[in-house]
Amino acid sequence: MAAAALSQLREKIARSQRVVALTGAGISAESGVPTFRGQDGLWRQYRAVDLATPQAFQRDPRLVWEFYQWRRRLLQPLKPNPAHLALAALEEAVPEFTLITQNIDGLHALAGSRRVLELHGNIWHLRCTGCGVVREDRRLDLPALPTCADCGAWLRPHVVWFGEMLDPEILAAAVAAVENCQVLLVIGTSGLVQPAASLGRRAKQRGAFVAELNLEPTPQSDLYDLALHGRAGVLVPQLLEPER
């Protein structure tokens, strides 16, 4: 029963020193960010290979930038929702809380989360393809092909594209956090993209209590101790409510 499961999860969190949350596009859906694989999902409308690969950027950097500028314009007015806010509050309540996200929208930081491991980068950060410098840049009026103020090379969005490696330091920190945590919350992710998809299994193998919070069951649901189905904006704040 959902109420009993929720109560069990609250109790596990209350007794834990180390809690980790792994989030995906579903947590930002109620803020108005499109997911990737749902009915109106981004990868249902666009071919990722044309827009989100290093080859696409080499072939047609202007087209790739047009796509990311469009996404930046869509994201810019969006606000964190109650699920983002609840995770920021959980960070304050739990002795050691780590937030790992696959999202590039920056909404966790806007909600007040301080320690966020952004596995797939951040769309508001630009990286120089020449000297590698990374800078935050929230302008919506970037040139069609922005260049580095230091060395003049092209800038690219500081996000992980298909076929690219994740930042090894961020990945190592995420793996260490899930391997040492007592509770892992897997929120709003389809669990289809590696290596993020394997983090739940790792936590489970190390003895953590793993709970999935998602609109619907996923291919990973059966691996976990508990699954709560519903909107993240409703479910995640319920984790903070006192037991009645």
Please tell me the count of residues contacting ligand OAD according to CB under 6 A: 25
Out of 21, 231, 238, 239, point to the residue binding ligand OAD (CB under 6 A). 231
Q: Could you say whether residue 185 binds ligand OAD (CB under 6 A)? A: no
Instruction: Please tell me whether residue 170 binds ligand OAD under the rule CB under 6 A.
Output: no
Which one of 182, 190, 220, 238 is in contact with ligand OAD (CB under 6 A)? Answer: 190
**Interacting positions 12-71 with ligand OAD (CB under 6 A):** 24-26, 29-30, 35-38, 41, 52
Q: Which of 20, 88, 155, 160 binds ligand OAD (CB under 6 A)?
A: 160
| Among residues 31, 113, 214, 238, the one that binds ligand OAD under rule CB under 6 A | 214
How far, CA to CA in Å, does 183 sit from each of 74, 87, 192, 210? 34, 14, 21, 6
218 in contact with ligand OAD (CB under 6 A): yes
Instruction: Give the Cβ contact number of residue 46 at 10 Å.
Output: 12
CA 232, CA 194: separation in Å to the nearest integer? 22
Among 85, 178, 232, 239, indicate the residue that binds ligand OAD (CB under 6 A).
232
- Other CB atoms within a 10 A radius of the CB of residue 109 amount to 18
Active site residue 120: yes
> Is residue 130 at the binding interface for ligand OAD, with CB under 6 A as the rule?
no
Helix (H) or strand (E) holding 43: helix 42-45
Q: Give CA separation, 15 vs 8, 150, 163, 176, in Å.
A: 11, 50, 40, 20
Residue 239 near residue 10 (C-beta atoms within 8 A)? yes
Torsion angles phi and psi, residue 213, rounded to 5: -120, 115
Question: Which residues are at the interface with ligand OAD (CB under 6 A)?
Answer: 24-26, 29-30, 35-38, 41, 52, 102, 120, 160, 188-190, 192-193, 214-216, 218, 231-232
Positions marked active-site: 120
